[in-house]
Structure 1
Amino acid sequence: MPAPVPDLTLSIVIPMFNEEAVLPLLVDRLRPLADGMGAAYEVVAVDDGSTDGTPVLLERLRREWPQLRIVRLRANSGHQAAISAGLQRARGSYVVTLDADLQDPPEVIPQMLSLARTEGVDVVYGVREDRSTDTAFKRGSARLFYKAMRRLGNIDTPEDAGDYRLMSRATVDAVNSLPDHNRVLRFVVPALGFPSGTVGYAREVRAAGTTKYPLAKMVRLSVDSVTGFSLAPLRFATWLGLLGGVAALGVLLYAVFARVLGHVLPGWTSTVVIVAAMGAVQLLALGILGEYVGRMYAAMQGRPTYFVAHDSLDSPGPRAEHVEPGPQQGP
């Protein structure tokens, strides 16, 4: 694993999956910005098993951009795993994680670095102050999700802060030392409790290509976030069981009194409704328990969540390499 380089100020980690269309636009905006910051930097492009022309385009760009470094994963491992692979290999004193789609403008990076240096904070979150480019459904669901996570997980994470952030070397080392599987970094980093600040910006539309986070992946990310940071669902299942027991006791008392008073009438509707309700409660509780058991099972297996096939820092050509267990995906 590459060691930190003292005179390397900034590492910019960019996970990529089939970003051939947007990659030239990203380079046109990011390279002049990084070159003009007056600080030594590297750009760690993590190719998350792309199947389009992204790998070829990255190799072409590396020939004329010395600061560009390519870390290629053997297979698509997910957005969060790709970021984690970049964090494991970033060498800078500060590390920025940035998506390739240009929805989060790279022009905010100098403000993040300046704030971290002047205020002495370990984390600077990019906060989406203007999300008018997102749909009303996405804005509303994101707002509810962050509020729920702050309440359930007791995590003081800034609202509308995604995976665009700057971290100090101490923060990156702390994240890399965690044994979590299926980690969601937008909640892992705030949970560390390191001193932090925020920089606001207007979220832009995707510059090119298609989104890599459809609804199904967003739901999976939400489940990983809740089960990874809160025991509230387990307590919810417990309360459901208690309420179900109380309801069953009430039905039993009703049946006894009806029998004593001679008001027992043949019928199946009430029985079917009660059985169905109790079955639904039990299945929901089992599903919640299953999510937690599944996380423990994955942790016990200790399987790596990504494999690095090639790091351009190590050799000029592709070389297979196995890495130790790292975090899994997910925004």
Structure 2
Amino acid sequence: MKYPILTIVVPCFNEEEVFKETAKQLSSVLKNLEEQTFIDSKSKILFVDDGSSDGTWSLIEEESSLNDYVTGIKLSRNVGHQNALLAGLETAKNMSDCVISIDADLQDDISVIKDFIVKYHEGYDIVYGVRKRRETDTFFKRSTARGFYRLMRKMGIHLIPDHADFRLMSKRALDELSHYQEANLFLRGIVPLIGFKSAKVMYDRKERFAGTSKYPLKKMLSFAFDGITSFSVTPIRLVTLIGAFSSLLSICAAGYAFIQELLGHTESGWTSLMISIWLIGGLQLMGIGLIGEYIGKIFNETKRRPKYAIETDLYSHEKASLPHQKQGVFEVEKW
């Protein structure tokens, strides 16, 4: 009986403080799954060093020489979390039956990885890890997160609420993902577009084991804005509506001024003039800036530059059998 080869992809950027514990815990998960005959012994943990400036890559190389489960790739420079994650997925897909992506900070509950694999054997191509609750977040973060998901839904963008990048994807789903070639990468929006059979696994998110978050407020807002502008033209339509509303107000103001002229009540008004100029000028600058954002994205797309470059590859050079093409090979008794 054949068992699937699993690769756990872990993007890393300056994760020196947490790396040892992450490698230890994930190795333990793979060992247990292998002993329970859920996965093949060739399963791996693929750490992706996203241009770290600390000793992350040295730790990956050291752990790889000591631990058969651990391997890695080193990118030539920092390309951002989403591109680093894509580098890991594309590296692993040709030598795996399924791939699980997870962050290095151990906030995602690794105990549910077994549930992911069970869903995979039930025939699901994509399994999303979804948070049960957000009580550990601050009120501001919790409120903004909920507002973001509502906004995306109203704009017609299908996201999985309370899901980040903790997910399982089959080889078939990864092959389909490779057809999406946009430079403005937002995997949380792209993966649901694939449309294959999917499931959710609920879990409680933990506190970060060590180190600091790589997503401060400024970066989170930028990430959210990139997601919106990468999937929807609604913001431009909104500016158009604001412009139309402003034009309507201007017509009303002109009518009022004309009536005042007929009644002989007109007098110069510096304040109203300045407010009008500032309002219209602000709206114009906002519209130009938003259009410029979309033009910038078009510019990036047309250049077709590679999203990443791999400097060192420990994974692809290792021997691995061809991935199995069939899912659902387990019998119920094996569970």
* Structure 1 and Structure 2 fold alike (TM over 0.5): yes
- 2:50 aligned partner: 48
Residue identity opposite 1:12 in structure 2:
I
| Cα offset, 1:7, TM superposition | 6.6
Contact 1:42 1:92 in 2 (8 A): no
- Work out whether 1:17 is the aligned partner of 2:20: no
- 2:137 aligned partner: 134
CA–CA distance in 1 between the matches of 2:316 and 2:119?
33
Residue by residue over 1:132-178, the C-alpha shift from the partner in whole angstroms, topping out at 9 and shown as x without a partner, is 222222122111111211221341x3211111001111111111221
Contact 1:87 1:176 in 2 (8 A): no
- Work out whether 1:283 is the aligned partner of 2:285: yes
- Work out whether 1:96 is the aligned partner of 2:100: yes
- Work out whether 1:143 is the aligned partner of 2:146: yes
- 2:113 aligned partner: 109
CA–CA distance in 2 between the matches of 1:21 and 1:59?
16
- 1:257 aligned partner: 259
Contact 1:258 1:264 in 2 (8 A): yes
- 1:67 aligned partner: 69
Structure 2: runs of 5+ lacking an equivalent: 319-335
Residue by residue over 1:230-263, the C-alpha shift from the partner in whole angstroms, topping out at 9 and shown as x without a partner, is 1211110111111121122222222222222211
Q: Identify which of 20, 32, 37 aligns with 1:36.
A: 32
CA–CA distance in 2 between the matches of 1:61 and 1:8?
24
SS at match of 1:36: helix
Contact 1:102 1:207 in 2 (8 A): yes
Structure 1: runs of 5+ lacking an equivalent: 1-5, 317-331
| Cα offset, 1:124, TM superposition | 0.6
Q: Identify which of 296, 299, 310 aligns with 2:298.
A: 296
| Cα offset, 1:277, TM superposition | 1.1
| Cα offset, 1:25, TM superposition | 1.0
| Cα offset, 1:130, TM superposition | 2.9
Contact 2:129 2:163 in 1 (8 A): yes
CA–CA distance in 1 between the matches of 2:62 and 2:157?
46
- 2:308 aligned partner: 306
SS at match of 1:204: coil
Residue by residue over 1:71-95, the C-alpha shift from the partner in whole angstroms, topping out at 9 and shown as x without a partner, is 1111111110100111110131111
CA–CA distance in 2 between the matches of 1:275 and 1:19?
51
SS at match of 1:51: coil
Contact 1:240 1:285 in 2 (8 A): no
CA–CA distance in 2 between the matches of 1:280 and 1:123?
45
Contact 2:46 2:315 in 1 (8 A): no
Calculate percent identity across the aligned residue pairs: 38
Residue by residue over 1:105-124, the C-alpha shift from the partner in whole angstroms, topping out at 9 and shown as x without a partner, is 22211101101212x22111
The number of aligned residues is 309
| Cα offset, 1:315, TM superposition | 5.2
Backbone CA RMSD of aligned residues = 1.6
CA–CA distance in 1 between the matches of 2:157 and 2:54?
41
- 2:229 aligned partner: 227
CA–CA distance in 1 between the matches of 2:157 and 2:222?
20
